[in-house]
Structure 1
Amino acid sequence: MTRSDLSSHFDNLVRFETELWTAIDQKLRTEHDLPLSRFEPMQIIGRLGSCRVFDIAEALAITVGGTSKLVDRIESSGHCRRQSNPADKRSSLIELTPEGNALLGRAKATFDDELERRLGSALTPEALDRFGAALATLREVNRRLTPATKEKS
């Protein structure tokens, strides 16, 4: 494989991610007034039930500072709340409000439908499994090659 092949794969991967993000973001904004940047942390909060900013940042592979700002926006919209963490007074526990849970449920259905339309309909289940496995492998290798700068919050 030549460097130009790798460059082409990089271009396709990044452009596809950008196009997919934009399409799903637009769909969520139009149907639920919920940007994808808020939907993703809400999914993690919903899945974990109660979590710290650090837990969301780690799951999304973004900074704690950026995650904290996202949580601030979700909280100001009334979709989550923070409460004191009894195990660690330096951090808060975040949970979805009833309104946030309801919105997440509606938005999740839209999100899943759009993923099916844009990914599931384009690849066979086997090809999609291979694609997912390849992405997981690439992410793991990339994590090992990237110096860890863990922040706790």
Structure 2
Amino acid sequence: MGPLEQVFSDLVRAQIELWNAVDARLRRDHGFGAATFEPLRVIAERGGCRVGDIADDLVITVGGASKLVDRLESSGLCLRRANPEDRRSSLIGLTTAGEGALAAATDTLRDELSTRLLGPLGDRRLDALGDTLSILRRSHSTTGQTAAPRPERTTP
């Protein structure tokens, strides 16, 4: 295997292993996994977002994002309301239960990521990895948009 193939293999497998570990921890501690956490985070960050915004942020289809929102809404974690600027779409917001679930799960996520990323890498390497991944995301964006600049990391 050449160096490019090795980087690809390591990157994909590291992502899968990290996702699985975070997912298992969230399920154990909060009763929902990363596939619930991620859209909750997007909804909270965007404030009044649409299904298409979730799809763009999570790099999934609009249909997949719509199904995620359906599940979140049926779980009482979010609500859809009419979009006053576009009758064809809805705005999505977190419920009080959704805000609480996200806040608690965010603390758990930070703890797990600190163990799995910050612990082995340290501050400098983690910052370098974050910068590298931001460059890759901006250069390979599938939505036609450039990824947002990486926010400053705060130590948990």
Provide TM-score, normalisation by structure 1. 0.90
Partner of 2:128: 130
- Is 1:69 aligned to 2:100, yes or no? no
Q: What amino acid sits opposite 1:38 in the alignment?
A: T
Structure with greater contact order relative to length (CA < 8 Å, sep ≥ 6): 1
For residues 101-116 of structure 1, the aligned pairs below 5 Å read 101-116=99-114
Count residues with an aligned counterpart.
144
- Is 1:8 aligned to 2:6, yes or no? yes
Distance of 1:118 and 1:124 partners within structure 2: 10
Q: What amino acid sits opposite 2:16 in the alignment?
A: T
Q: What amino acid sits opposite 1:132 in the alignment?
A: G
Q: For residues 61 and 147 of structure 1, do their structure 2 counterparts lie closer, same or farther at Cα, with a shift above 3 Å needed?
A: closer
Provide TM-score, normalisation by structure 2. 0.88
Stretches of 4+ moved more than 3 A in 1? none
Contact 2:43 2:94 in 1 (8 A): yes
Structure 1: where are the runs of 5+ without partners? 149-153
Distance of 2:136 and 2:99 partners within structure 1: 33
Distance of 2:135 and 2:47 partners within structure 1: 28
Q: For residues 83 and 16 of structure 1, do their structure 2 counterparts lie closer, same or farther at Cα, with a shift above 3 Å needed?
A: same
Fraction of identical pairs, as percent: 48
Deviation at 1:147, TM superposition (A): 7.7
Distance of 1:111 and 1:147 partners within structure 2: 26
- Is 1:21 aligned to 2:15, yes or no? no
Deviation at 1:63, TM superposition (A): 1.1
Q: For residues 20 and 54 of structure 1, do their structure 2 counterparts lie closer, same or farther at Cα, with a shift above 3 Å needed?
A: same
Q: How large is the Cα RMSD of the aligned pairs? A: 1.3
Partner of 1:51: 49
